[in-house]
Structure 1
Amino acid sequence: MKISVTKAAKQWGVSRTTIYQKINEGELSRTADKQIDTSEMIRVFGEPAAKKRTEQTMNTNNGTSSNSQNVQDCTVLEHQLALEKLKNKHLEQQVHAQKQLIENYQDQIKQLNITLEKANASIHDLTQIRLLEFKGSEHEKGHQQPQTDLSPEIKAAATAPKKKRWFGF
């Protein structure tokens, strides 16, 4: 394709004087109709500046759009990270609450075991007293059986005079 000196100067971003100097020096040739072939301009000056600017603009736009995409991706990831941190904190609080609940239940179990042991001891003492009372009543009827391995408190309770009770327990 053939173009004028003025048009070539604009496209390649050089002055007309520079183009005429290159023609006079023999570095650049032109046709008889005083047109310059674009292949000659590319050989001497390289790619046209207008084309370079367009490519640079496109690259800049692509770079800008990719940078904005990277920023958006980064923002989304930061948001997801913040959400995950909140979830993690919530789960840690739930675990802590469950641990406290377990400790409370364990304390209740200990207290119930102590109460149960006391109740069992009371039942044992009561059965021993009833047994002594029973043996004491048999002793009064003439049957004598030895009293073995009873605590002094139980023996005293068994030999103590009976109180009249309103209930028949």
Structure 2
Amino acid sequence: MRFIINENIVEADIDLRLSLLDLLRDQLGLSGTKKGCNQGACGACTVLVDGERIVSCLALAIQYEGRQVTTIEGLSNSSRLHPLQSAFIEHEGFQCGYCTPGQICSAVGMAAELQRGLPSHVTKDLNATTMVPSREEYAERMSGNLCRCGAYNGIISAIDEIYGASGDRDVARSATLECVA
């Protein structure tokens, strides 16, 4: 089977029952994507598929043959971190770091949802042409990603710096487009 992982074509013989998470970690050695609950409840295994966030523990790898899968390893290039990774460091958006790859991938996917104008449960104006989310909006949109250390304030601050009204919109736009293209 042929997969596109972090913009690289990868050939792999897989068991049809293999999860995308297990393909990434066990067969391809991409250990940045974490196995947390293995039941889709914690978000530690979040990756991007064609720019949309999914929990990879519940996805069969075969479903994603030929589609663009981006893991935490694919967000940065060899010379620099993704802007959101830098913001997580600056705002102490992690403690143990276990959930961080999933949090970051989820936030990148969330930013793409905002750019497309997709509302959340707490979106106040469903007819707005642009979305400038609040901390409450970020918290709602990121609620599928758990942090057992409780670094939520730093996580939300990092996301707001890059994608919020106070952030550098050009950096945020290019950071999102790089990851969802």
User: Shared fold by TM > 0.5?
Assistant: no
Structure of higher RCO (CA pairs closer than 8 Å, 6+ residues apart): 2
- TM-score bracket for this pair, using the shorter chain length: under 0.3
Which TM-score applies when normalising by structure 1?
0.17
Larger Rg: 1
Structure with the larger strand share: 2
Structure with the larger helix share: 1
Which TM-score applies when normalising by structure 2?
0.16
